[in-house]
Structure formats: C-alpha cells, structure tokens
C-alpha cells in the first residue's frame, strides 16, 4: 500500500527534472525536515511542559525549560550544522552569524531562519511556524554578515513549516510552491498541496487594527476603502506564517506597513519577508514594501526590518496604489 509521495521522494524527482539543481537540496531539506519534526513535537507538548514546568522552570527530567524560540533555534543548528552543505547560518535568535567552522565539513549554502514565528501565541495554543531562506555563498565567502546580505531575488530556496491542526512543510526552489502534510503515524511529510497558486484577488485582509492610530494616510485610506466597499473579511492571527498560509490558499492581502511607530515596519527582511515573498511570487502573488518589490530591497544589515504588503497580486497592487497616493 503506497503511503503517497513523500517530501524526500518529491525532492529527488525535482532534482532529476531540473539538472542544474544539485543533490545538495535533497540532503539539506532532509536535515531541515528532521528539525521540523523535532520542533513540531516540542510545540505540540508545550502546554504540557508549562503544566509540568510550574515548579519554577525545571521539567520532570530536571532539564532547564527553555523558551521555545531558543529550543527551536538549537534544534535547527544541531540538525543542520553537520550535513556538509552549509557554510553558515543566521537566525532571528542569534545576534551574529553562526559559522560552520572546522568542526564539520563546510558547504556552499547559507541558511537564514526565524526558528519560531508567532511565539507569543505558543502559550495560548495558536498556530506558530518556522520560516527559512537559502542563499548560495558568493565567491570569496568567509561567512561574515556581508555574505548574508543578498537581495531576496538571490534566494535558491525558501519555505516555512506551520505547526497547526496539522504540521505542514511548504517550500519553493523556484519551480513552483509545494505543500506537504506531516503524517505522524509514519513520520513522513506527504504531498498534499502540489503547485500551489494563490488567487489573483481575495476577500481577506490581514492587518493589526490595534495600530490604526499610527497608520500613515495611505494605509488608513486603503483599509477604509476595503470596509466601505464591503465584500471583504478581516482575519488576523498574529502569527505571520499562519496569516500568510491562509491567504496563500484562499487569496487575500497581509499588511504590516511602515507606520508612525515602526518607520521601517516590524517584520524582518532576510528571514521573514524575503522567504515568504519568494513563495508568494512563485504562487503567482506579489510582495511589496509599498514602494518597491520586497525581493529587490538591498539588505544593509542582518536583522533589518521592512514594511510588508504580501498576497494576491491584484490586492497587493491596489494596496500599493493607495499607499503611494497617500504619500502624494
Ligand atoms: P516572531 O514571533 O518571530 O517575533 O514574529 C512575530 C511577528 C509575526 O509572526 C506576526 O505577524 C507579527 O509579529 C505580529 O505583530 P503584532 O503583534 O505587532 O501584530
Ligand atoms: Mn517571526
Ligand atoms: Mn521568531
């Protein structure tokens, strides 16, 4: 009885289909899948740990109960550092870059990630995620910050894992967007959403209305326009991966724009906006800062923030039109 198309098998077939894609992806992704399964296990029992950890931070095994962001970060570092495919890693949870030094063989890729996105939602059992982006080392790479400062258009792969009612692994290597759902009974990610295409226009907008007083005119007028025009619904979970994934499948627009409080926006360019922008463009959508295509923003520092308007192409274009007119 076939268990269906596993992520590993799909990657191998993709590698055969596109001769220029080296076998490294398959091995790299396989290590990342292990990290995803570990994080999924920890996220799913987080509530339990909290109960068991009520004695002041020690769980029943006497281990220090770590914040899940740090735990997820460690899980990715530990599963990815020995594979021989990476020269280094950068993460939301680490100030500087993590070099693959002499300890393990050094590869030609760089991995950037947000190990746990939406972590403020963990203790109220709302979906969270992991976001990742892969770059190739440029000639002369000595794995310092500057090697990671490549525009989103340079990404060779990107994706996310969504820990929700089920755990999903969604990725692109530039040949479409494909989604896999974890079947815990066999411990495999099985193909569930092949070649995802996002609707040209949606009926959902996602923005934190708690920031209304800080919005600049272009945002306020656009949201007002949506509300008066009707036929649209608001959905905002507060976990970027969850909000993005819902809009990717159903259509719609997510906005975390620049405002008077966050002049450069809140979300990080290299390991939140760029990977999701690669995904959405491969699915036929769009992603903008309001003024420019996110994937063309030249990064100047590792943890740089960016405004983000992402989702269905027609919705993003309309939101950007209101944004620019609001500045006129
Ligand atoms: P992280 O948990 O990795 O810091 O990301 C949180 C982000 C993102 O997931 C979400 O869209 C956004 O923060 C929500 O911000 P607000 O609470 O300001 O709306
Ligand atoms: Mn995040
Ligand atoms: Mn995070």
Rounded Cα gap, residues 217 and 87, in angstroms: 44
Task: Please check whether residue 316 is in contact with residue 200, taking contact to mean a CB–CB distance below 8 angstroms.
Answer: no
CA 119 – ligand 3 centroid, Å = 6
Q: Among all ligands shown, which has an atom nearest to the Cα of 266?
A: 1
Render pLDDT for 256-310 as a digit per residue (tens, 0 to 9). Answer: 999 999 999 999 999 999 999 999 999 999 999 999 999 999 999 999 999 999 9
- 35, 80 in Cβ contact below 8 A? yes
For 204-325, CATH number out of 3.30.930.10, 3.40.190.80, 3.30.465.10, 2.40.128.30 equals 3.40.190.80
Pocket of ligand 1 (CB under 6 A): 92, 114, 117-120, 208, 238-240, 266
Q: pTM of this prediction?
A: 0.94
d(CA 49, CA 30): 28
Of 82, 138, 130, give the one whose Cα is nearest residue 110. 138
pLDDT at 55 over 50: no
CA 285 distance to own-chain centroid: 16
User: Whose Cα sits closest to atom 14 in ligand 1?
Assistant: 238
What distance in angstroms lies between residue 112's CA and the mean position of ligand 2's atoms?
A: 12
For residue 134, how many other CB atoms are within 10 A of its CB? 25
Residue owning tokens 């899940």: 68
Q: What is the tens place of the pLDDT at every residue in 215-245?
A: 999 999 999 999 999 899 999 999 999 999 9
- Distance of CA 230 from the midpoint of ligand 2 (Å): 30
**Confidence (pLDDT) at 16:** 86
- Nearest ligand (C-alpha, residue 72): 3
CATH top-level class for 7-193?
A: alpha beta
Return the domain boundaries, the chain: 7-193, 204-325
Structure tokens at 10: 């799909």
Angle at 287 between CA 43 and CA 224, to 5 degrees: 95
């Amino acid at each position: 009885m076939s268990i269906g198309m596993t992520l590993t098998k799909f990657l191998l077939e993709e590698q055969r289909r596109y001769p220029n894609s080296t076998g490294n992806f398959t091995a790299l992704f396989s290590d990342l899948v292990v990290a995803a399964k570990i994080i999924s296990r920890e996220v799913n029992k987080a509530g339990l740990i909290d109960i068991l950890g009520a004695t002041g931070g020690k769980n029943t095994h006497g281990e220090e109960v770590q914040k899940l962001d740090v735990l997820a970060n460690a899980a990715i570092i530990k599963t990815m550092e020995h594979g021989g495919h990476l020269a280094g890693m950068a993460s939301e949870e680490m100030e500087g870059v993590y070099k693959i030094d002499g300890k393990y063989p050094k590869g030609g890729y760089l991995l950037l990630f947000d190990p746990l996105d939406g972590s403020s939602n963990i203790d109220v059992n709302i979906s969270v995620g992991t976001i990742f982006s892969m770059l190739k080392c440029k000639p002369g790479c000595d794995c310092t910050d500057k090697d990671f400062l490549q525009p989103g258009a340079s990404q060779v792969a990107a994706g996310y894992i969504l820990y929700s009612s089920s755990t999903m692994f969604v990725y692109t290597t530039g040949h479409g967007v494909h989604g896999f759902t974890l079947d815990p009974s066999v411990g495999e990610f099985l193909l569930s959403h092949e070649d995802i295409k996002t609707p040209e226009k949606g009926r959902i907008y996602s923005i934190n209305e708690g920031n209304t007083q800080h919005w600049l005119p272009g945002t306020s007028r656009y949201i007002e326009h949506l509300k008066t025009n009707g036929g649209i619904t608001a959905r905002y979970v507060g976990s970027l991966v969850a909000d993005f994934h819902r809009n990717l499948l159903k259509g719609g627009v997510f906005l975390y724009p620049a405002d008077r409080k966050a002049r450069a926006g809140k979300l990080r360019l290299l390991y939140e906006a760029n990977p999701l922008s690669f995904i959405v463009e491969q699915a036929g959508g769009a992603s903008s800062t309001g003024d420019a295509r996110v994937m063309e923003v030249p990064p100047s520092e590792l943890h740089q923030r960016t405004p983000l308007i992402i989702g269905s192409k027609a919705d993003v274009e309309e939101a950007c039109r209101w944004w620019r007119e609001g500045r006129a």
